[in-house]
Amino acid sequence: MPNALVTGANRGLGLALVRALLTRGDRVIAACRHPGKANDLNRLTGEHPGRLHVLPLDLTDPKSHHELARELPLVLGNDAGEGRIDLLINNAGVLHSGERFGKVTAANLEDSFRTNAMGPFLLTQALAPLLADDAKVANITSELGSIAGVTRFGTPSYNISKAALNMASVLLKHALADRRITVLALHPGWVRTEMGGNEATLPPAQSAESLLRVIDGASLADSGKYLDWNGEPLPW
């Protein structure tokens, strides 16, 4: 049974990815900040005995990455803890809205960078020994991380952090290439979540299913690509 790990799994796109992975038969490790409060995940755990494990993770705290890495062998694969992660989806992210030029704060920039760029990069590094050879790492970025695609001063902390995540994705491709691990930077579309808002065009389940299709269809030759939920390339 393939093992998949999803960050930011308690709501939004992360929760939809967990549901889609469970439906197709994977064992899922759902990482979130507050497992005790993750009611939807805890309900799903009951519906999928032994196939869904909810573990704590705060992406902004490297200690938390290492604690997750220590706990994982206990839930992965078999009693000897010899299982590996076949798919790591770095989904968790934050968007500080309402930023205006002249009023952008160091706190917003720092939190965005720590959550959206530093977190996925350092978590992938910490979990690398637990990734299967020829595993896949999907970094959920955004079209707003495209330097070529910027048209306005909208959400600078978010744009900057997602552009950094795009760079991190290409660097991780190189770091993991000798283990035949494929790394993708994926834009999920405009998704109806707390972040995307009610006007967004895609239901989370549809985005999740499309993203999994793109991930499944990707091979090592695609590693380092920046793609949307339909598998279409985006300009850097």
Which positions touch ligand NAP (CB under 6 A)? 8, 10-14, 32-33, 57-60, 91-94, 115, 140, 142, 187-188, 190-191, 193-196, 200
Q: Between residues 83 and 93, which has the closer beta carbon with respect to ligand NAP?
A: 93
Please give the Cα distance from 156 to 236 (Å, whole number): 16
Q: Between residues 143 and 220, which has the closer beta carbon with respect to ligand NAP?
A: 143
Please give the Cα distance from 189 to 211 (Å, whole number): 10
Q: Between residues 58 and 222, which has the closer beta carbon with respect to ligand NAP?
A: 58
Q: Between residues 33 and 77, which has the closer beta carbon with respect to ligand NAP?
A: 33
Q: Give min distance, CB of 86 to ligand NAP, in A.
A: 20
Q: Give min distance, CB of 139 to ligand NAP, in A.
A: 8
Q: Give min distance, CB of 41 to ligand NAP, in A.
A: 10
Half-sphere exposure of 65 (CA within 13 A, CB side): 20
- How is 72-139 classified by DSSP, letter by letter? HHHHSSSTT----EEEEEE----------TT---HHHHHHHIIIIIIHHHHHHHHHGGGEEEEEEEEE
Q: Give min distance, CB of 89 to ligand NAP, in A.
A: 9
Question: How many residues in total does the chain contain?
Answer: 236
Q: Give min distance, CB of 58 to ligand NAP, in A.
A: 5
Q: State residue 192 phi and psi, 5-degree precision.
A: -75, 85
Q: Between residues 32 and 177, which has the closer beta carbon with respect to ligand NAP?
A: 32
Q: Give min distance, CB of 232 to ligand NAP, in A.
A: 14
Q: Between residues 11 and 77, which has the closer beta carbon with respect to ligand NAP?
A: 11
CB-CB contact of 68 with 125 (8 Å): no
- Token representation of residue 147: 């330097």
